[in-house]
Amino acid sequence: MLESEVLLLDLTQIDQCHSLMDILNSSDPFGLARFLLRPNAVAVPLSAITVLAPIDDQEVWAAGVTYKRSQIARMEESESAASHYDKVYTADRPELFFKATPHRVSGPGQPLRVRSDSRWSVP
């Protein structure tokens, strides 16, 4: 299969398999995906489909400032925040924060939204 083509999965073959999360939470996601390939599947051109973000109904959470290089950069960006970032790196647990609900996640090639009152956004 070429990178410009995709094979579609048939999610009607198994009663309890209706979404990406059902596949990912299975004991053998790769094997299940191979099983769900439509019999005699014909590759569909990637240009003929809309690729969505790989997410179903779960919230999106992130871990912040996890690398030493990132710590130094964050501390250089803001003297007032430096002590806060230092605490994040010395904490017993990683800093976790809520990012978005599923309907707010952008997929490949989709526009990103930034709050109108934001003066700075880190990709």
DSSP string, 60-84: EEEE---SHHHHHHHHHH-HHHHHH
Structure tokens given for 15 = 């009663």
Span 73-106, pLDDT tens digits: 777 776 666 666 667 777 777 778 898 898 888 8
Supply the pLDDT for residue 117. Answer: 92
pLDDT, tens only, 110-119 = 888 888 898 8
Residue 71 has pLDDT above 90, yes or no: no
- Which of the four pLDDT bands, split at 50, 70 and 90, describes residue 1? very low
Spatial separation of the C-alpha atoms in residues 32 and 11, rounded to whole Å: 10
Tens of pLDDT, residues 34-61? 999 877 888 899 899 888 888 888 899 9
Instruction: Decide: 9 and 37 in contact? Cβ < 8 Å.
Output: yes
